[in-house]
Structures are given as C-alpha cells and as structure tokens.
Amino acid sequence: GAGVSQTPSNKVTEKGKYVELRCDPISGHTALYWYRQSLGQGPEFLIYFQGTGAADDSGLPNDRFFAVRPEGSVSTLKIQRTERGDSAVYLCASSLGLQETQYFGPGTRLLVL
C-alpha cells in the first residue's frame, strides 16, 4: 500500500477483555514503531521493531502490553485485561531505517468501557 495502514480504525471493548491492534507498514520499511496518544497529548513511544525483533520495548506501560512482528512486516499490539486507562489512540509508524523519517498510520481509537 501507499502508506501505513492500521486495523481496526475503532475498537470498543469492555474492561478486562483482550484486544489486538494490527499495523501494516509501508512496503520496504524495516523499522516499525508503536506510539500511544491520549487526548490533548503528543504521541508517546511504546515499542520499536527493527526487522522481527523488538529492539526497544521500554515504553510499554506494563506486562499487559505485548507486541509482535513475526515476519518483519505486519505487527500486532496485544493488550490483555484491558483497563479504562488504556483508552487512547494507538499509532503505528514505519521508516526505512534508523534516523529516517517516521510515517504514521491513521491510528486505532481504543475505548475501554
């Protein structure tokens, strides 16, 4: 595709449920990033992949959050036992490589009731 795509665009779930958010990066981009944006705030870094491996997951808030990128392309962010405080826009970005411009997808708006 022409840009980063994310699915679903919106997700409403109940507290305690499990959710998966998917990101399809720009073709050829080896670096993939997840950020989270709360209302009125800038995006905050969650995790960075170079290829298949998570090179830095220091931004994940706790062990309920996990992300994978098994084939070095599509990535899935997984949130277990969701809490109301997890409600935010989850943004995925990709870049050709390190220090290259990061291009953002449209985001997934997660609402935990």
Partner 1 sequence: QKEVEQNSGPLSVPEGAIASLNCTYSDRGSQSFFWYRQYSGKSPELIMFIYSNGDKEDGRFTAQLNKASQYVSLLIRDSQPSDSATYLCAVLSGGSNYKLTFGKGTLLTVNP
* Near partner 1 in 32-91, by CB under 8 A: 33, 35, 40-45, 48, 50, 55-56, 59, 91
Q: Which is nearer to partner 1, 91 or 112 (CB)?
A: 91
| Phi, psi (degrees; rounded to nearest 5) at 109 | -90, 110
- Out of 19, 21, 23, 31, the only residue in the binding site for partner 1 (CB under 8 A) is 31
Q: Is 30 in the site for partner 1 (CB under 8 A)?
A: no
Q: Which is nearer to partner 1, 3 or 16 (CB)?
A: 3
Structure-token match 């993939």, residue found: 32
- Beta-carbon contacts of 75 under 8 Å, excluding residues fewer than 6 positions away, are 22, 23, 25, 32, 34, 49, 67, 68, 69, 92
**Is the CA virtual torsion 28, 31, 35, 41 positive or negative?**
negative
The footprint of partner 1 (CB under 8 A) covers 31, 33, 35, 40-45, 48, 50, 55-56, 59, 91, 95, 98-99, 101-107
